[in-house]
């Protein structure tokens, strides 16, 4: 396992693009440009379930671990999926800038551990930047990436797909998103992945696959 990390260090470092891109999330997470509501009667009928804060929080390790898995075993899927995440997030930020939405949250009265975790999430994330859902976009991108990887490991496929859908469902049940946020999150993931495939983005990263290119260039510059 350690050897795999060493052999894939350069490609794995590309994941720094995710937190760098995420800087814009905080800058846009406000109502200064006006806000809209996409809440429907069906959304109002969906119950709040604090237990789903667990899969909602598991989104973070799920995305990272799935990308690491892709990097170790399916490089093309890794580059395409990572590129989908970054481009998809940028497209979402564009929507947030011009069409900011909000989702009403339930009043939290209980003091049990799950309610406290929900309260922490609510306090750390303003109720904006909702449409489309980045949680949904990135989770569904993992499903697409695994499907396109060429893997025959059905158990891993099922595990990634099931986890992604539970995370997606959790966004509705903890009242972080509404149905249209989810629908367009999936659509954005599909659209962005197709764009990345058309651009053949993995070809732009061939030097990452062959780190010897970098060392050869470095030696030439030093001579």
125 Cα distance to chain centroid: 16
Tally the C-alpha atoms within 13 A of residue 36's C-alpha that lie toward its C-beta. 13
Q: Which two tokens stand for residue 200?
A: 């053949």
Among candidate residues 55, 80, 46, the one with its CA nearest the CA of residue 164? 55
pLDDT in tens, 93-108: 999 999 999 999 999 9
Global pTM reads 0.90
pLDDT digits (tens, 9 = 90+) for 71-94: 999 999 999 999 999 999 999 999
Report domain extents, the chain.
Answer: 49-222
């Amino acid at each position: 396992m350690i050897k795999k990390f060493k052999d894939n260090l350069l490609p794995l470092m590309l994941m720094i693009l995710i937190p760098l891109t995420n800087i814009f999330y905080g800058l846009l997470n406000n109502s200064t440009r006006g806000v809209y509501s996409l809440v429907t009667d069906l959304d109002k009928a969906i119950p709040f379930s604090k237990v789903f804060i667990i899969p909602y929080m598991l989104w973070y390790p799920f995305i990272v671990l799935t990308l690491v898995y892709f990097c170790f075993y399916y490089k093309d899927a890794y580059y395409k999926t990572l590129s989908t995440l970054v481009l998809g997030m940028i497209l979402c930020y564009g929507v947030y800038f011009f069409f900011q939405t909000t989702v009403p949250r339930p009043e939290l009265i209980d003091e049990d551990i799950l309610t406290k975790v929900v309260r922490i999430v609510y306090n750390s994330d303003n109720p904006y930047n909702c449409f489309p859902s980045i949680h949904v976009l990135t989770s569904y991108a993992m499903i697409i990436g695994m499907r396109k990887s060429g893997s025959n490991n059905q158990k891993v496929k099922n595990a990634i797909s099931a986890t992604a859908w539970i995370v997606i469902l959790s966004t509705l049940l903890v009242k972080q998103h509404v149905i249209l946020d989810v629908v367009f999150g999936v659509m954005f993931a599909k659209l962005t992945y197709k764009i990345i495939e058309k651009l053949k983005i993995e070809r732009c990263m061939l030097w990452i696959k062959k780190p010897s290119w970098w060392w050869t260039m470095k030696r030439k510059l030093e001579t």
